[in-house]
Amino acid sequence: MSQGVGVAGLYVRDQDEALEFYVEKLGFRVHTDARNGDYRWLTVQHPDQPSFQLGLFAPQPPTIDAATAQTMREVVAKGAMPPLVLVVDDCRAAYENMRKRGVEFTQEPVERYGAVDASFRDPSGNGWKMIEARQG
């Protein structure tokens, strides 16, 4: 029997805006884009990690009530959610490539703890830590 996490989700302000950011600026690709009335199941995946999907979900009914959805949008916009981690081979090169595609970084690449890392946020406010994979 095989088990594992296949999808991790995050709340986004606007699914179309998030889709454009993750595909055009980060290089992810669409895995699933399905609708059921007002509900949209939207997942993307990194080309180097096809067994894992990142869900780009709107905080909305029926999964949560309207008042909670508004609160969640505000919390995400403030950058209060835990950061996600993107592992790259070369943090400085990835930083330059992503910056040229319009990703706004909150921290330039810094060497610490034996690795190089940088930080950015998506258009909804979700924080990302980009970390260079350790060699060896």
Instruction: List, for residues 11-27, the tens digit of each pLDDT value.
Output: 999 999 999 999 999 99
Fill in the amino acid letter for 113.
Answer: Y
Instruction: List, for residues 82-103, the tens digit of each pLDDT value.
Output: 899 999 999 999 999 999 999 9
Domain coordinates in residue numbering, the chain: 7-132
Classify domain 7-132 at the CATH topology level.
Answer: 2,3-Dihydroxybiphenyl 1,2-Dioxygenase; domain 1 (3.10.180)
The predicted pLDDT at position 121 comes to 95
Which pLDDT band, with edges at 50, 70 and 90, does 135 fall under?
A: low
The predicted pLDDT at position 72 comes to 93
pTM here is: 0.90
